[in-house]
Amino acid sequence: MISSTKVGGFDNATLISRLLFFLVLFGLVGFYLILGFKGLTSEKGIEQAQIGREIARGNNATTKVIRGAAVWQAKEAEKDIDLSAFHDTYHSPLNPYIYAAVLKAVGGDDFEKFQMNEKDEKTVYTLDRVISAVAVILFLIAVGINYLLISRIFDVRIAGATAILMILSDLMWKFTQTGLPQMLMLLLFSCALFFIYRTLEASIENRGDIGSLVIAAVFLSLLALSHWLTIWIILGFVTYAAFFFRPKGISGFMILGILLVFSSYFLVKNMEWTGNPGGTAFLSLYGGLTQSESVIMRTSDPAEQTYTIVYNLNSFLITTTTSMLRQVNELYNNLGSILVAPLFFFALLHPFKREAIAKFRWIVLLMWIMGTLGMAIFGLSDSNLAPNQLHILFSPIMTAYGLAFVSILWARIELPAGGALMRYGHFAIVILISAGPLILTIPRETLNVIATKDRGKAVWPPYWPDAFSETLHNATDDNDVIFSDQPWAVAWYADRISIWLPRKVEEFNELEELATNKGLSVAGIVMTPMSFKEDVLFSPIPFGYNEDFAPLMLDGPARGALSRSKTDSRSGMVNPGILAKQSQNLRPIMNKYPEVSDLFSNRIYFYSKQRIYNR
């Protein structure tokens, strides 16, 4: 059993160590939020930010990002479709509402107040930094909550080492730059674990603690409102509570009841707007059954994927098992590259003397298994910064158990009793190794910033905010709709309604007609390096040879379209690319949008009806 270590007076060693801790902490905040910050990195994080701005404007949870699948849902349910006030049912609501409160406080609901200007030579959108700052604050609070939790479970030494490992985790800092809700989820999950542990202690002492259980259920419900996939984690805890917490059976139903109370409003609204209580988010299930979620989200008729889905259902067990094994293989990276976090699973084999410590690990394990199953079913990309990445939530508590296990092994090594090496040597080794990715990243990034003198400071490719915030915004009107391969960027940086470029010309025409019938005007098509995330010549997804718009994509920036195109010397505009002009399918569309503007560095093009520089 790990003995409790009480905090004594503020001797010199303690004071110096705490000063160093906060010095490093504020240094990291300065680096990731100011010096090394280039902008939001996740498409779904950017999309949640623009939803937050609409909420701040009093437009409810509406979005300017239009998915073909969402339009299809509304049509199937015979709902009225208003593209200028399109309700979002894809993202969980809590994170956008938090963004909305912050954006309203700083005046972010006024686009012109933060509009970028080429004369300023800024490459980072100011509101990107505001969104990232929210995540940083939530992360720092989560560190404090975990310190309190782990101090209660083990002792202040393990709690302190865990806190240090958290702030030295490069992955956690990178999540603060995505715009994703992971740091909010980490905070809520840590609070829930704190009260779950209190409930467990009461259960062991044969006394009920309904209050702690209810508070834990509230935090878990808020967690579900931050990311719907965390319901799988909640189901893991519900299973344990139903069998082991008093009153048995009722406890599980009580947690589900509280979850239903918190989510019922949004379920009713999803039903009202889409005819499905799961909303458009339900269709993301296909991301685990097909090759790509974007294939479903960009189509105006998901029914065409029925064969693929049915085929994959026949091998559902194999697909899910393969995904779970891949997650285990990548677990070290997904837990923040913290050396001892995976040792949690070895700690399961150790007979901890304190019953609460011994039982709590099984709650954590059950919740992790259910979360892993949910990620396997709904799909998890190869990136450890994936929107569905839930492993990072378990990193602090797994790190604590791993440190406890290492401490037990370390104590068995014959070292001079009472020496600093005996007390802190294993912590120092773990911290130095785990901090490796961060130690290697900061000097390189700092030198790069100094060398470029802020000129190349942007998440490029694929985003260049200035091209959208000034040029594209000024060239279009509020009632204009823009098709794009990165509609989230157009909606956030240009503040324009943007439809995710569909896969087929027929679907493009249908969406174009829908916009026109609703009194809107289609301004054109924006093509970016987003189309080149994969090799379009050989990969069928997310953009590839089976796409009707593949010729337009191949004419784009990454394929040297400029060198193959002719330039009109009178206007300075780049004519449409050769492949797009030669495509019979695309020719009618290219005739509608004949003017091509190079928005940035021969890599971002705007195909429009008019020459935007004359507007």
Higher pLDDT, 138 or 321: 138
Give the mean model confidence (pLDDT) for residues 22-41. Answer: 91
For residue 571, name the pLDDT band (cuts at 50, 70, 90).
Answer: very low
- From CA 72, how far away is CA 505, in angstroms rounded? 16
pLDDT in tens, 426-448: 898 999 999 988 888 888 887 77
Terminal-to-terminal C-alpha distance of the chain? 74
Q: Which residue has the higher pLDDT, 203 or 613?
A: 203
Nearest to 324 by CA among 274, 379, 281, 245: 379
Which one is predicted more confidently, 553 or 79? 79
pLDDT beyond 90 at 569: no
CA distance linking residue 558 with residue 285, whole number of Å: 32
- Do the bridges between strand 567-568 and strand 573-574 make them parallel or antiparallel, or are there none, so unpaired? antiparallel
pLDDT band for position 282 (cuts 50, 70, 90): confident
What are the boundaries of each domain within the chain?
12-35+129-277+315-447, 43-124+460-614
pLDDT > 70? residue 11: no
pLDDT band at 312 (very low <50, low <70, confident <90, very high): low
Element (H, E) at 498: strand 497-500
Mean pLDDT, to the nearest integer, of 157-164?
A: 95
Q: Residue 50: its pLDDT value, please?
A: 98
Residue 500 bridge partners (DSSP): 484
Asked if residue 368 lies in contact with residue 242, where contact means CB atoms within 8 angstroms, the answer is: no
pLDDT above 90 as % of the chain: 60
Mean pLDDT over 164-191 rounds to 97
Higher pLDDT, 437 or 537: 437
Percent of the chain with pLDDT strictly greater than 70: 84
Specify the long-range contacts of residues 193-196, CB closer than 8 Å, at least 24 apart.
Answer: 193/149, 193/364, 193/397, 194/145, 194/148, 194/149, 194/152, 195/219, 196/237, 196/360, 196/363
Sign of CA dihedral 424, 429, 430, 434: positive
Rounded CA-CA distance 576/561 in Å is: 9
Q: What local confidence, expressed as pLDDT, does residue 254 receive?
A: 95
Rounded average pLDDT over 587-602: 86
- Give the residue, 544 or 155, on which the prediction is more confident: 155
> Taking all residues of the chain, what is their mean pLDDT, rounded to a whole number?
86
Query: In this predicted structure, what is the pLDDT of residue 558?
Result: 43
Quickly state the pLDDT bin for 288 (edges 50, 70, 90). Answer: low
Which range, of 59-68, 429-438, 580-589, averages the lowest pLDDT? 580-589
Token look-up 């050396």 returns: 339
Most confident of 18-32, 279-293, 393-407: 393-407
Q: pLDDT digits over 132-147, tens only?
A: 999 999 999 999 999 9
pLDDT for residue 524: 94
309 pLDDT band (50/70/90 cuts)? low
Residue 30, amino acid: G
Please name the residue ranges forming H helices in 458-523.
465-466, 473-475, 487-493, 505-517
Most confident of 34-38, 390-394, 554-558: 390-394
The pLDDT value given to residue 416: 63
**9-23, 31-45, 77-91, 320-334: least confident range:** 9-23
Residue 4: pLDDT band by 50, 70, 90 thresholds? very low
Length of the chain: 615
Average pLDDT over residues 118-140: 91
Half-sphere exposure for 429 (CA within 13 Å, toward CB): 12
CB 558 within 8 A of CB 603: yes
What integer pLDDT is reported at residue 567 of this predicted model?
46
Say whether pLDDT at 574 is over 50.
no
Q: What pLDDT is attached to residue 614?
A: 39
User: pLDDT band for position 5 (50/70/90)?
Assistant: very low
The three-class DSSP label of residue 419 is coil
84-102, pLDDT tens digit by residue?
A: 999 999 999 999 999 999 9
Q: What is the pLDDT of residue 415?
A: 64
Displacement of CA 556 from its chain's centroid (Å): 28
Residue 546 pLDDT grade (very low, low, confident, very high; cuts 50, 70, 90): low
